Amino acid sequence: MACPICNKASVPEYRPFCSKRCADIDLGRWLRGAYVIPGQPLDDVASDADEKNLGGGLDSGDKRP
């Protein structure tokens, strides 16, 4: 298997990477947000969920004395 960062052969200790350096480069990309799964922005998802739950919810029913 080739290293996804530099395409050298992977090393079992750092698999799927070839070295700690490439593993750290990948971690840095994750932490910066360079890897993104395409989809609807979270703000839009939250507002859609709020609109659907306007009258509902577990605590919205009549309360017993």
Residues 30-58: pLDDT tens digits? 999 999 888 887 776 666 655 665 555 56
- φ/ψ of residue 9, rounded to 5: -65, 140
Residue with tokens 């070295």: 19
Does the pTM surpass 0.85? The reply is no
pLDDT of residue 41: 75
pLDDT: which is higher, 60 or 8: 8
Q: Which tokens belong to 46?
A: 């939250």
Maximal CA-CA distance, the chain: 70
Mean pLDDT in the chain? 82
* Spatial distance between the Cα atoms of 20 and 65, rounded to a whole number of angstroms: 63
**pLDDT of 57:** 56
Q: CA 33 to CA 53: how far, in whole Å?
A: 30
pLDDT of 27 above 80:
yes
Residue with tokens 């996804």, as numbered in its chain: 4
Domain limits, the chain? 12-52
